[in-house]
Structure 1
Amino acid sequence: MKLTNDFIERNMRQFHRYALRTLHYAALTAYYERLRLGKNTITFSSLSFQETRLLYRIDQHFTDDTIFNVLDYEIIVQDNNLANALNCLPEQGRNIILLKYFLGWTDRKIGEAFSSYDSSTRKRRLAALRVLRIIYEEQNGE
């Protein structure tokens, strides 16, 4: 089959129309996508000072933290007032409170770790909490 000039020219025009149509719709799609994204986009220069402060955070890297060692665990307390109040407690009460509320241990598990019954562990924990509350309120003037 011999291709004529008319046939080749017609195919070229069809391809040209197809390419133009495809590029036109691709441009429209990109335009509408930019419009859609533009509604939700804010430039940094248009933000207020308070809004720019929300975008970053300064790491503290344990500068004000207090570390307690209980049964080979390092428990980090970030609140200085609470850490000072915990330091005023007897060691056994402090350890029970740290294991219970910072590591999530049960009274039974704490009792097994200290070789005591869970009921006595619970009594020690409640007594230590009462003392901790009194110390914390005295230190903070509440």
Structure 2
Amino acid sequence: MPNANSSRERNVKQFYIYAIRTLHFAALAGHSERTRRGKKEILFSELPSSDARRLHSSSSPYTCDKIFTVLDYEIVVQNEELADALSQLTEHRRNIILLKYFLKWTDEKIAKALESRRTTINGRRYAALKTLRKLYEENDGG
């Protein structure tokens, strides 16, 4: 039996050494990642005022957000241009876009909810995106 015990002790020691090394290198990797980030990142309070003004958002809590209702979900669109463009789409195409990109639904889930085929949803989404792109280009004067 001494052989079995020494073999077991050797396995335990090897595992112990492996665990210690793994933890040690994980700690080193975490420390070097924090150091690397610290060199690249800067606190917002330490930014020069010119950069802070450039990053300032002009949105206020009192802006008029557009709310679309799709399948008992209320979807808030904060971008006024996007909300206007979405308003110009047909309701079915708008619903597909909102479900896909705002609620992150798959085409299969949208098809089931709207009682349609997945390929139909895919085609209508493509057409809606094409229309949205066209509306944006018209608004930009391009």
RMSD between aligned residues: 2.9
Query: Does residue 64 in structure 1 map to residue 64 in structure 2?
Result: yes
**1:93 Cα deviation after fit:** 0.3
Q: What amino acid maps onto 1:71 in structure 2? A: L
Between structure 1 and structure 2, the one with the greater Rg is: 1
**1:61 Cα deviation after fit:** 2.0
For residues 1-142 of structure 1, the aligned pairs below 5 Å read: 49-50=49-50, 60-61=60-61, 63-142=63-142
Q: What amino acid maps onto 1:109 in structure 2? A: K
**Normalising by the residue count of structure 1, what TM-score does the alignment of the two structures yield?**
0.58
- Structure 2 CA distance for partners of 1:52 and 1:72, relative to 1, 3 Å: same
The 4+ residue runs of structure 1 with deviation greater than 6 A are: 56-59
What is the count of residue pairs matched by the alignment? 98
CA-to-aligned-CA distance 1:12-55 (integer Å, 9 cap, x gap): xxxxxxxxxxxxxxxxxxxxxxxxxxxxxxxx9xx96547769x
**1:114 Cα deviation after fit:** 0.6
Alpha-carbon distance in structure 1 between the residues aligned to 2:70 and 2:123: 19
**Normalising by the residue count of structure 2, what TM-score does the alignment of the two structures yield?**
0.58
Please say if residues 81 and 140 of structure 1, whose CA atoms lie closer than 8 Å, have aligned partners that are also in contact.
no
Which residue does the alignment assign to 1:16? none
Unaligned runs of 5+ residues in structure 1 are: 1-43
Unaligned runs of 5+ residues in structure 2 are: 1-44
Q: What amino acid maps onto 1:81 in structure 2? A: E
**1:59 Cα deviation after fit:** 6.9
Please say if residues 75 and 102 of structure 1, whose CA atoms lie closer than 8 Å, have aligned partners that are also in contact.
yes
Report the identity percentage.
50
Q: Secondary structure at the match of 1:75?
A: strand
